[in-house]
Structure 1
Amino acid sequence: MLKIVVCVSGGGTNLQAILDAVDEGKVTNTQVIAVISNNAGAGALDRARARKIPGIVMSPKKYADREAYNQAFTGRMQELAPDLVVLAGFLVRIPPQMVSAFSGRIVNIHPSLIPSFCGVGYYGLKVHEKVLERGVKITGATVHFVNEGMDEGPIISQKAVPVEENDTPEILQRRVMEQAEWILLPKAIDDIANGRLRLEDGRVYSASYFEEMR
């Protein structure tokens, strides 16, 4: 059983997609053991409570400085001891010490086709605003492992989504969620839980690839 902790800053639609996929049997061998948010008012915490999943608030504002927060956040995650940490719309950079402690065990969903529109300053609705500003015709979402860089970890999966001429950032955000994020993230978790993926030399392969190479 893959024990996961989901980190969320906002409403938790990706969290809901994971929970629904577990209920529907689309994600198997997986248990959400806690939800962490940096925002005490996050709707994701309400979703967690409704499922009787522990909801934990870890806000940087409650600590003297970022280093103190990083240590506390990492310590709390180590206490929870998940097999996988899932960043599902989490707007706090993961501390380097946590990346090290959970190397190869942190995944993130990003609302663009990395390497486009990623890195510092590209998050949430801002990504979709920039996509529309540039007149991009195809956008999408990416699930990737987290490393020390910003949106630079090995890519697990991607899905393209069309941009329509009358899109607003909000409309485009919803389409990317419905057509890509809510599909990709549960699928990635299920693949990890059931041993279908392998991280090798900074790239993600299907486990079947290595079987075929024998």
Structure 2
Amino acid sequence: MSPSHLPQADSSSDSLPSSAKRSAVEAAGAASRRRWITLGVGALAALGGVGLASWRMQGGGATQAAPQNFWQTSFEGPAGETVQMAALRGRPLLLNFWATWCPPCVEELPMLNRFYGEHRAKGWQVLGLAIDQPSNVRKFLQRLPLDFPTVLGGLAGTDLARSLGNQKGGLPFTVLFDTDGSILKRKMGQLTTQDLQDWARLM
């Protein structure tokens, strides 16, 4: 059998002009790249979704080390005394961030004072942490004395509030610490009598 009569392999691609071959190869490569890009974007979106969900579930909550750091801090009282947070550990503590220039803060202070008077015999503690000028706080306490202690937070108090879950830095902000020193409840905004009643039942 002569070479001209031998069976020929399928050479349709070989029979294409070189420019057509290059176009076909480039098209195949582009399609492959598109598939990988699509898969990559999908994977990144999935990971991003997981991260976003995790962030939302945390809700801008307190950092893990925040409670321990809190118990290791100290603040100055209105009379210049040093108040160690460690001395308050072991009993329920209602920590209230406030300021004299914050109307909702000032409005809820008498309610907190009544709560303290009604529950202090049961071991409850209330601590006001003022994010304000010391002179303003001293003048305010002269006009409206409080039975529970108040300390001067300053800028350190703002940082503390953020670490405890107050990501927006608003006032008032209240944190309830359990007897073991952990955070039990938090509230951004003005407290209500119902809030305090519900929290009191937790202990």
TM normalised by structure 1 equals 0.32
Larger radius of gyration: 2
Higher share of residues assigned helix: 2
Higher relative contact order (CA 8 A, sep 6+): 2
TM normalised by structure 2 equals 0.33
